[in-house]
């Protein structure tokens, strides 16, 4: 048994390249349409030509019967080959190029015919309908073969039927017209097929360039791999079309941006609302590794234009990195505070040691008491006004750092914050960022001073940080809360321009606000209002008197 080679079987199937498949399919479609159109045109053409031939035969018969002398000659002359009826009928036949013109009497006897021998004989077809006054159109077989025939009654001057006229057009001439029309129709069909093939080739070439001559199976595989990759990577991907509308969101992008797949088809402003994140995705903010804050998350965004006029933006979650950076800043602040304390304590120990060596014992005792009392007073002053331990510890450490940097950090006398803070870590972040910014603003200025005020109004916490620095110009008071905006050089471990943006985001997450204005006497004044930041106070226990206790005892208990 012979076997078919695998390559030969492959050649008999469809080609694998998209170019070849598209060209082959489009040529097949064009050929099918051409054949179908030709068939649809030819199918009714024969019937139309038959109808036209029968109507033409009927018109000739009507014209012949309308000759007034023909009925008279039929009645007064015999049926002969050289009679006037025969001569008139032959004249009309030759003039109209009909196959035959037969004039008959009421008995069906021919008075004219193309074959003189048939004159005087009965017609071969039934003339009763025409002799009854009806006009007949038909295609029938007669002595002269198949013909398109028209029959009409022949009337005399009084309108009485004296005979009939039958005119036939040979059907072969109709068929010849149809056959003659076929080459022309095929030429049109061939031209249409050629134009369709050319258009298919041009379209296939364009598809070939756009698909890089890949097979359909390869394209399907690439699409499946693309979907798996987009939804599997831990990096947000947002694709936008040339009109700036979102056309793709992978799972990570939906998680980072906090939106669903229903955002597809909308612009970033419509899906996210106005803000820096929407500006970055829309391309209104340019650059690489752009920082933006979306809800509680700090994101790093990059945007790359595509060849079709759209763009692809990638998003990375930098929240944990920013938290580590802030923890590193806190650790560095603590190290600076410990270093400052070590330096300060070393100087004071040297002073104390000198007093002891000089046997100035009373002065040494007084000096030690002043040093210990000053630090105790600072800590006690803060913990007395700020009951939350995390905030109190933060402010004690910041006070030490401020003293080392030559800045006087004080707690306002109006500060009163109970130990009922709901989100202590968030408030620590807000206070730490504002105090750090204030310390940076007053660094190197004479009589540098920073004042912190924290007080409660019901369940609302109000934070105010004032400094004696250069202040913030009015035109920049909103811009400084924008992600990525900063006038300071970024440190090595992270970028700047996030602190104040995080402050505002945290405030807005609590339903509050963060604003900046001008402090009394110059400098900046930051005010953060945090509604619902404090828990409800515990109800005070009420004193109850046991039943049966004398009123005197109750009065005594009071």
pLDDT band at 82 (very low <50, low <70, confident <90, very high): confident
Mean pLDDT over 188-200 rounds to: 75
Asked if pLDDT for residue 489 goes beyond 60, the answer is no
CA distances from 416 to 84, 386, 540 (A): 139, 6, 20
- Kindly indicate the confidence band of residue 556, based on its pLDDT and cuts at 50, 70 and 90: very low
Distance CA(17)–CA(25), nearest Å, equals: 12
Q: Is the pLDDT of residue 1 over 60?
A: no
* Among the ranges given (135-144, 169-178, 235-244, 290-299), the one the predictor scored with the smallest mean pLDDT: 169-178
Average pLDDT rounded to a whole number, residues 364-378: 62
pLDDT confidence bin for 514, thresholds 50/70/90: very high
Query: Tokens 């560095």 — which residue?
Result: 332
The pLDDT score that the predictor gives to residue 25 is: 74
The answer, yes or no, to whether residue 214 has pLDDT greater than 80, is: no
Which tokens go with 551? 């009123």
Query: Smallest Cα–Cα separation from 65: which of 89, 29, 87, 91?
Result: 89
Picking from 188, 283, 183, the residue whose alpha carbon sits closest to that of residue 243 is 283
Contact at 8 Å (CB) between 185 and 41?
yes
- Give me the sheet containing 311-317, strands edge to edge: 246-249, 236-240, 311-317, 297-305, 290-294
d(CA 489, CA 470): 18
Report the C-alpha gap between 176 and 54 in whole angstroms.
16
User: What integer best gives the mean pLDDT of the chain?
Assistant: 77
Q: Is the pLDDT of residue 221 over 80?
A: no
- Ramachandran region, residue 201 (left: φ > 0; alpha: ψ -120 to 50; beta: rest): alpha
Token digits for 354? Answer: 């000198």
Tell me the CATH number for domain 16-214.
3.30.450.20
Q: Is the pLDDT of residue 155 over 70?
A: yes
pLDDT score recorded for residue 337: 59
Distances (CA, A) of 512 to 421, 458, 509, 553: 15, 14, 7, 51
Selection from 4-13, 263-272, 314-323 with the highest mean pLDDT:
263-272
Alpha-carbon distance 319 to 313, whole Å? 18
Q: Do the two domains 236-317 and 322-530 of this chain adopt the same fold? A: no
* % pLDDT > 90, the chain: 13
What CATH number does domain 322-530 carry, 3.30.565.10, 3.20.20.70, 3.40.50.360, 3.60.15.10? 3.30.565.10
Segments making up each domain of the chain, as ranges:
16-214, 236-317, 322-530
Burial of residue 139, with CB atoms counted within 10 A of its CB: 0-12 exposed, 13-18 middle, 19 or more buried: middle
Q: Does the pLDDT value for residue 260 go beyond 70?
A: yes
**Radius of gyration over alpha carbons of the chain, in Å?**
54
CB atoms within 10 A of CB 327: 10
Q: What fold is seen in the domain 236-317?
A: Beta-Lactamase (3.30.450)
What confidence score (pLDDT) does residue 453 get? 93
Higher pLDDT, 183 or 415: 415
Whether the predicted model's global pTM rises above the 0.85 cut? no
pLDDT band of residue 67 (cuts 50, 70, 90) is confident
């Amino acid at each position: 048994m012979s076997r078919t080679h695998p390559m030969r079987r492959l050649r008999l199937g469809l080609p694998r390249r998209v170019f070849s498949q598209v060209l082959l399919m489009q040529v097949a479609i064009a050929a099918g349409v051409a054949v179908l159109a030709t068939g649809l045109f030819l199918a009714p053409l024969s019937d139309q030509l038959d109808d036209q031939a029968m109507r033409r035969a009927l018109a000739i018969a009507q014209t012949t019967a309308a000759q007034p002398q023909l009925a008279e000659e039929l009645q007064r002359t015999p049926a002969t080959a050289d009679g006037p009826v025969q001569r008139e009928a032959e004249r009309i036949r030759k003039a109209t190029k009909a196959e035959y013109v037969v004039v008959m009497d009421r008995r069906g006897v021919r008075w004219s015919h193309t074959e003189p021998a048939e004159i005087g004989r009965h017609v071969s077809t039934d003339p009763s309908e025409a002799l009854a006054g009806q006009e007949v159109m038909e295609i029938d077989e007669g002595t002269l073969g198949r013909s398109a025939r028209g029959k009409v009654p022949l009337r005399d001057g009084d309108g009485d039927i004296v005979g009939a006229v039958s005119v036939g057009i040979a059907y072969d001439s109709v068929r010849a017209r149809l056959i003659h029309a076929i080459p022309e129709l095929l030429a049109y069909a061939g031209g249409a097929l050629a134009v369709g093939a050319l258009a298919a080739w041009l379209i296939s070439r364009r598809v070939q360039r756009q698909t890089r001559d890949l097979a359909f199976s390869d394209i399907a595989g690439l699409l499946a791999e693309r979907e798996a990759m987009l939804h599997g990577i831990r990096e947000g991907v947002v694709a936008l079309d040339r009109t700036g509308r979102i056309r793709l969101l992978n799972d990570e992008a939906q998680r980072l941006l906090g939106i669903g797949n229903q955002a597809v088809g909308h612009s970033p402003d419509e899906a996210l609302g106005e803000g820096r994140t929407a500006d970055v995705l829309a391309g209104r903010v340019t650059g690489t590794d752009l920082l933006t804050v979306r809800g509680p998350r700090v994101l790093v965004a990059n945007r790359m234009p595509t060849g079709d006029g759209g763009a692809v933006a990638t998003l990375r979650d930098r929240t944990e990195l920013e938290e580590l950076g802030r923890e590193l800043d806190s650790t560095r602040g603590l190290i600076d505070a410990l270093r400052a304390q070590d330096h300060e304590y070393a100087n004071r120990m040297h002073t104390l040691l000198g007093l002891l060596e000089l046997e100035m014992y009373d002065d040494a005792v007084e000096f030690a008491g002043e040093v210990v009392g000053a630090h105790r007073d600072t800590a006690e002053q803060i913990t007395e006004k700020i009951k939350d331990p995390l905030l109190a510890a933060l402010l004690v450490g910041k006070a030490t750092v401020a003293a080392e940097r030559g800045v006087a950090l004080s707690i306002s006398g109006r500060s009163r914050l109970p130990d009922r803070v709901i989100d202590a870590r968030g408030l620590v972040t807000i206070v730490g960022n504002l105090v750090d910014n204030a310390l940076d603003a007053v660094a190197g200025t004479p009589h540098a001073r920073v004042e912190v005020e924290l007080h409660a109004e019901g369940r609302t916490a109000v934070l105010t940080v004032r400094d004696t620095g250069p202040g913030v110009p009015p035109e920049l008071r909103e811009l400084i809360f924008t992600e990525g905006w900063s006038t300071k050089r970024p440190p090595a471990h992270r970028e700047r321009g996030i602190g104040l943006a995080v402050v505002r985001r945290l405030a807005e997450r609590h339903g509050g606000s963060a604003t900046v204005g001008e402090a009394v006497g110059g400098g900046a004044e930051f005010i953060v209002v945090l509604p619902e930041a404090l828990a409800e106070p515990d109800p005070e226990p009420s004193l109850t008197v046991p039943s049966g206790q004398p009123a005197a005892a109750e009065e005594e208990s009071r």
